Chains A and B, each alone.
Chain A
Amino acid sequence: MMLTVKNLAVAYDGIDALRGIDLTVAAGELVALIGPNGAGKSTLLNALSGVVRPRSGSISFAGRSLSRTAPHRISRLGLLQVPEGRQILADLTVDENLLLGQLALGARKQRHDLASVRALFPILAERRRQLAGSLSGGQQQMLAIGRALMGAPDMLLLDEPSLGLAPMICTQVFDALRRLNADGLTILLVEQNATRALASTTRAYVLEQGRIVHTGASADLAADGRIIAHYLGTETPDLQKERDLT
């Protein structure tokens, strides 16, 4: 297993945000983690990244326990997070953001360079000297993903990459993720947009109020109308069509 989470619990000021989380991701998988706002999705990713310390439970990545590892070291081990809201460095240029991403490489072998990231997201080549803060939301998301790729992740954690993006840009981002996965990148994709996430992944976990309430093949979860309706709101015809196409 690339990632194994066992019985993980996280609390903020004594109030539980996550309880009894068991989750695994195998090498090469593209797994979705979906759930409503406030379910604890970001908390789980932040616990994996070491930014939030678990109350109990264990996390192991590539056979290595992460419970005592500093967050910047976790990134350098090849477990990289693209955080919610992109968090690009607004005062640095596009290229500087990408170069900064190389820091996570440490002693590991490079898999992406400026050229290959620009090939994946051509807009980043066009805007290379522009301050990242001047990019649109979608461009910032591409920059955030590209920046993580520069650090040669073995596994990528993405926190709501579709948030606030126009549907067309969103499709572009998801296409890129599928292509990266096809090239062997292991991905854990957090989404509120369940329909889209289930359409793009093979396996999924559904998180609600800090617990995993469903897990299984994405297609089965998507077919289960109750899950879509009850936990995740109704889907738009637009997205239904897109899933049928993919």
Chain B
Amino acid sequence: MIEFQHVSFAYEKGREVIRDLSFRIGDGESVGLIGANGAGKSTVMKLMLGLVSGEGKILVDGEELTKQNLSLIRRKLGFVLQNSDNQMFMPTVYEDMMFAPLNYMLSREEAEKRVDAVLGRLGLQELKYRHNHRISGGEKRMAAIATVLAMEPEMILMDEPSSALDPYNRRLVINAIRELGQTKLISSHDLDMILDTCDRVILLSGGEIAADGPAEEILRDRALLESHHLELPLRLADK
């Protein structure tokens, strides 16, 4: 469970990018976070992870996010960064995937088992021993998703998971996301993917909530979407 209570945040003084934001995501929910470029989607995620801190309260499982419990709370959250280049820092995909499980005191054998399972599920066995800076942008994205799945977090935050992916891999990721039982928060401009993976949608605009409701409802509202630089998902536009 994640809850925002009147959260505001500014990167630079006087220019608030998140304004008095309040919402609540219950256990097991999958929520799509949508909005125009610069609406504040990535910032909301950074706030949740304590990568930046603003005014107001952020609660994870009823506990307020503070400096003291930061590492405990982070353990529950898995985050796929918008830019995978900044996520992968070990030389090979394999080592990167092992990183979190090892930090969480798994033995090497257990960690490796987990890594192999995730790679198998995403069909990425071939990437295992590849060097991170020698794989393509899309492969890197898949690998970054894999590193987070290997953490087996309680909640998963994904910032634009489908960008840079070809249709085949995009489909793989969508399927993988659907299979996850965890609470999910997914930010994306790929509204078709949001429609496929999320039950609920929060539409951000200028750091405020412009709409919050069932995905089927909001993603069908052409006027609402278009007034926020977005378009109907292709799947719904056909009809």
A associates with B: no
Interfacial residues, chain A to chain B (CB-CB below 8 A):
none
Q: Interface of B with A (CB < 8 Å)?
A: none
